[in-house]
Each structure stands twice: as structure tokens, then as C-alpha cells.
Amino acid sequence: MGPQGLGLEITELRLGLPGGSGEKKRVVSGGREADVCGGEGKKDMDMVVGWPPVCLYRQKKSMGEATRKMYVKVSMDGAPILRKVDLSCLKGYSELGMALENLFGCYGIGEAMKAESESCEYIAIYEDKDGDWMLVGDVPWLMFIETCKRLRIKRRSYSNGVGLHGINNY
């Protein structure tokens, strides 16, 4: 969409080199149209205050997660000190993985959550509201943060055999 080729470009304020065109992703920028060259996927707008006119309340509530703080304890095999992580600040399993890697140095745990790969030395499990220990990554993120009470990072070699049989005896 856009007024290409009708000479209206003259009236547009542009950032970017003169004479350049080609594939550009348009961003909604409140009257200043910035050319963002190339790139796949969606680009976020330059934020104009108050535009589009979606009220703040709705913006906050639509953030996909509850806005309250959700601190849960995280323990790791072999680490004597527990940590806490705020699940409400994280947007998904990837960010959780990164947060855990930063806290404990358990590299690869983010990947392990996404795919049932055996490559990572660690696995992440959580205790849910029923008191059962579950593998992190199975349920949708939003459901996970509602039910997760605490997290644990275990070394894979401590689990029995292939998969996680016996985990609920934990």
C-alpha cells in the first residue's frame, strides 16, 4: 500500500538516500514515513505518542500476559543457592531459556525447551499447581506461567534412561 508512482513521494518526508527505492517495509510513523530497507517480517513503528488511539488500559491488558509479578524459585542440581525469576517479564520459552542461562550458566537449556533434543546437558522441569513435576515446554506459554509454582534445572544424566520416566518420583 502506498502512494507509489503518483508523484506523491515529493510530499513525503523521507529518511534514506535520495533516488533509492526498491523493496521497503513501511512503518507507521505518525506522519514521518521512514523507509526501512529490506528485512523480512514485521517492523515495529516509530512510536508516535498516542497513535494509534488504543487506550493505555487496553494496551496493558492485551500484553498477552498478566501484568502482575510472578516470581518463582529456580533451583539447579549442584547449585547451593536458589534464584528467583519473574515469569511475567518474559515473553516466551526462549526468553526463559536465556534468563536461566544467565543465572546458572546452563547453556543450551533454551533449545532443550523448544525441541525434545537430547543435545543439552540440562533439562528444565517445573512444579505445577497440582504438585506434579512437569517438563517445561509442553503447554502454551501463557498456560505455563499460570500453573508454574517453581522451576528446577536438572542434569540430564540424573534422569533414568531415555526420556524422563520416573521424574514424578522426584
Partner 1 sequence: MTYSFPEEVLEHVFSFLTSQNDRNAASLVCRTWYEMERWCRKRIFVGNCYAVNPRVLIRRFPEVKAVELKGKPHFADFNLVPEGWGGFVYPWIVEFARVYPWLEEIRLKRMVVTDECLEIVSKAFRNFKVLILSSCEGFSTDGLAAVAANCRNLRVLDLRECEVEELSGHWLSHFPDSFTSLESLNIACLSLEVSFSALERLVSRSPNLKTLRLNRTVPLEKISKLLQRAPQLADFGTGAYSAEIRPDVYSSLQEAFSGCKKLKSLSGFWDVVPAYLPAVFPVCSQLTYLNLSYATTQSPDLIKVISQCHNLQRLVVLDYIEDMGLDTVAVTCKDLRELVVFPSDPFVADANVLLTEEGLVSVSQGCSKLQSVLYFCRQMSNSALISISKNRPNLTCFRLCILEPRAPDYLTFEPLDVGFGSIVENCKELTRLSMSGLLTDRVFEYIGKHAKKLDMLSVAFAGDSDLGLHHVLSGCESLRKLEIRDCPFGDKALLANASKLLTMRSLWMSSCFVSFGACKLLGQKMPGLNVEVIDERENLNLLPENAPVEKVYIYRTVSGQRLDMPDFVRIMGKDKNGVYNLL
Output the CA–CA distances (angstroms, integers) from residue 64 to 68, 89, 170, in the order listed.
Answer: 12, 11, 32
Q: What's the sign of the alpha-carbon dihedral 87, 89, 94, 97? A: negative
Measured CA to CA, the distance from residue 91 to residue 158 in angstroms comes to 29
In the set 14, 61, 84, 114, which binds partner 1 (CB under 8 A)?
61
Site for partner 1 in 125-154 (CB under 8 A): 139-140, 142-143, 146-147
Nearer CB in complex with partner 1: 43/83: 43
Which amino acid, residue 144?
A: F
Beta bridge partners of residue 86, listed in sequence order = 71
Minimum separation from the CB atom of position 130 to partner 1 (A): 9
Residues 152 and 76 sit within 8 Å (Cβ to Cβ): yes
47 binds partner 1 (CB under 8 A): yes
13 binds partner 1 (CB under 8 A): no
Name the maximum alpha-carbon separation found in the chain: 72
In the set 18, 22, 38, 68, which binds partner 1 (CB under 8 A)?
68
Minimum separation from the CB atom of position 25 to partner 1 (A): 7
Q: In the complex, which residues of this chain contact partner 1 (CB under 8 A)?
A: 1, 3, 6, 8, 25-31, 42-45, 47-58, 61-62, 64, 66-68, 139-140, 142-143, 146-147
